[in-house]
Every structure is written in C-alpha cells, then in structure tokens.
Amino acid sequence: MAEFDYDVIVVGAGAGGLVVAGGTAALGLKVALVEKGKLGGESLNYGCVPSKAIIHAANVARDLKKAQKIGIDIQLSHIELKKITDYIHHVQDTVGSADSKEALEKQGIKVIQGFATFVDNHTLDVDGVKTTAKKFCIATGSRPEIPPIEGLKETGFLTNETILSMEKLPESLLVVGGGSTGLEFAQTFSRFGCKVTVLEKLEHLFPNDDPEIGPLMEKLLTDEGIELILGCDIKKFYGKDGKKTSRVKHQGMEKEFAAEDILIAAGRTPNISHLDLKMARVKYDQNGIKVNKRLRTSVSNIWACGDAVGHYQFTHMAAHQAGVVIANMIFRYPRKVNYAFVPWCTFTDPEVANVGMTENMAKEKGIRCETAKFEFKDLDRAVCDDAEVGFLKLLIKKNKIIGAACVGPDAGNIIHELILAASAKLSILDISRAIHIHPTLAQINAKAVSTYLGQKYASQVTKNMAQFMFNFLT
C-alpha cells in the first residue's frame, strides 16, 4: 500500500474547503489545508461578511434619514468611510477568528500557505515543495470576472475585492453589472450620498427571479436616486475632464456616462487556471471543474466543491456541497447534490429571496401549478416597521410548495420556513396549522397560505357542505 504524507489535502480555505478539512480532521484523518491567499476565502475577506457589514452601515444611514418621518429629529451630517471600513474589519476579525491558522491547527488541520499546482493525481507542489495525499478536494472558489472592454484596464477600476479598502467616499460611481453584487454596492454607496449609475446589458433586473420582482425593484432603486441604464452595450472606457468615462450604446444612441470611479460587478470566474489540473488528469472548462452528482471529478481520488465547480456560486451552496464530498470521500455513502431547492438572496433593501421554481420556469417545463400571494402592506408588523413594500408569492402543486419568492423586509430570513417546507415536501396545511407569532414579519408565510386555502375552499359546494354538517350532523 502506497505511503502518503496526508490522508486528505484540501486546496482552498474558503467556505467549502474549511468544511471538508474540518469534517475529515474531526473523523481522525490526517489532513492538510492549502491556501495561497487569506484564510476564510471570498466570503470572509471580500464577499458575504464585509459586504453585509457595509450594507448594515448603509441601512443605519437610511434609518437616520427616515427618522423625522416618525418624529425623531436627527441630522445625518456626513459619512466617514474610514470609520466604516474600520467597523468592517472588526466584523471580519470577529467572524474570522474560527478560521485562523491557530484555530484550524487546534482541530488537527495542517495549514500550508502557498501557491499550489498538481504534479499528478496524488502529488501537489506548493511553492516548490512536493506533498502527497491519498485523496484531494479542490475548493479554490472564484474571482471577479473582468470583461474585455476597450480602455478598462488603462482607465482603472474597482472590484468587490478592492472597493472596501477605500478610505474616501467617491462623489460618483459607475457600477458595471446589475446582478446581486452590483446592486448591493450601488444601493449602499447611494445611501452614503454617492451619485450612482448602474450599467447593465440585460433589459431588466432580476431576470432569474419571479417576473414581478424586476419591475418593482427597478422602480424602487430609481426612486431612491440610482440611475439604471438597462439594455446597454459598453463600447469603451477612457478618461475625460478628470472623470472615468464610459461610451455606451443605449436605446439606439451613443451616450457617455462619467464618474469618479468604476466598480466592475459583471460576474465571477472559477479560480482553477493556476492549478495545472491537466497534470492530474482532471477535466474542466471555462465554467469550472467537471464533477458528477457526487462531486467526484474525472479522477477517482479527487473531489471538488463550491465556486470551483461553477454551480450556484453561493457560500451556503459550497458548505452544502462540502457535506456531500465528505459523505462520498470518507464513507463512500452515495449522497448526491440536490439542486431542486437551492435558495438565494440579494441583500438590497428590500431584500429579494427565492427558492425552487419561478412561474417562468414552471411554464417552460409544462408544470401546472397555482400561486398564492400576500403583500407586506397587509401585514401588521410591516406596517408598524414602515416596511410595507413587497410581497410573498408561492407556487403550489397538489398542496406542496414547489417555489417561493419574497421581496420585502428581511426576506432572506422569512423564506427559510418555505425552504424547509419545500425540501421536506410538507403540505401547505402544515404551515397553516403551525402557530406563527403575532406581530412578526414571518407571519406572511401563514398569511399567504391561509389566503390561498380560503380562496380555494370558499366555493358554493364547500359552503353547502358546511351548512349541512352544521345543521344536521351536530
């Protein structure tokens, strides 16, 4: 039997890699974790954690501006971006303490920091030092994709990896990309007083969400002062009059949009080009590493998870996939990834959360279903909180939820009850019978279901049956 330095080597210390390394080490295996950058990966260092911290700061600024409406006289004099970035770093230090080298090595994980390339399917070269393992998991994540637009590199730009290192708030900002990252930063910097313009090649925002969400969010963001240039084609970037300027084709005309800085938020690309995967005979393409439903690659002793495989680039998906890797790699339990009810959320204000199918997806697949909808303006707690914009919509088939979309306050938390119901194939009657605390935002789940049931069973036949049972059977 061959001798290896480690039982398992995990390449990449982001959400997926940390779960695989921690899980395998807890099972008594000899584990190494290799990372060329910062421990904690994209989520801790440049993504979920810092972006949500700055969104919190922006929402505080919004609340201060709205305070006079409810009788509290507070003036927002100015924004100190340096102090906000200090707060972000404090949050990162607090959250990231569990992912430090010291904390990981206490779990029995050998942390190796360096640039890794494969020599063969059992050997990794890390900065010139060869290390072997019986099995590998690749979890190297993704990075911002930079579109090949003329003049962009020469003009200069920011990404989510650099924008939070700014110490001075720009007076104006061009955001290239109207996806979740672009919109979250656009709204955040707009609330800090920055003039923001979003350039998006698609005709509408939220194209993969419920069809009612895009028009609603476009209106809300525009009303908030964000300029949305949708359906545009960016031709080039250049400097002009001290500003970074874009030439754009929009609605059949050539237009210019200028700002103090540019944020590129035009998607992400897998971090795999540096790994020399061909040496290990691992198949891949521009979308990521090729894996089967059990996340095994084309090589029997190598698995992959997270953004590196290209499916649903979310931190929670990477962590979920990591559990599938552990089940198959260690226990040989044939667990497969289930993509049927993958939830996602855009943390704008209001938040936009989805799980399962949308109405458009159901129509494309020929699935006949019914919808249930309830608006936040009719929910007591939303009225109390001055958060009445938005709605919850359910897609229901045979009393089971096959999809849900929520746009409104705290939508990312509200939708979890529906994620469980859909995943566990619970009946909507189970939601209706559960007691929901009043007044809470989560009551909207029960309200939507109850409204649907009330309409469904309010037929004349049902009424006649009820009257008969009441008068003659009781």
Give the strand pairing for 116-120 and 268-270. Answer: unpaired
Q: Can you tell me which residue has the tokens 């939303």?
A: 382
Find out whether 9 and 21 touch, Cβ atoms under 8 Å: no
Calpha distance 364→80 (Å, rounded)? 49
298: burial class by Cβ within 10 Å (0-12, 13-18, 19+)? middle
Find out whether 101 and 39 touch, Cβ atoms under 8 Å: yes
Catalytic sites, residue numbers: 438
Calpha distance 324→225 (Å, rounded)? 44
Residue 158: half-sphere exposure toward Cβ, Cα within 13 Å: 21
Calpha distance 389→350 (Å, rounded)? 8
DSSP state of 208: T
Residue 318: half-sphere exposure toward Cβ, Cα within 13 Å: 29
Question: Between the CA atoms of 412, 414, 416 and 420, what dihedral angle is there, to the nearest 10 degrees?
Answer: -150
Find out whether 171 and 195 touch, Cβ atoms under 8 Å: yes
Contacts of 457 (CB under 8 A, 6+ apart): none
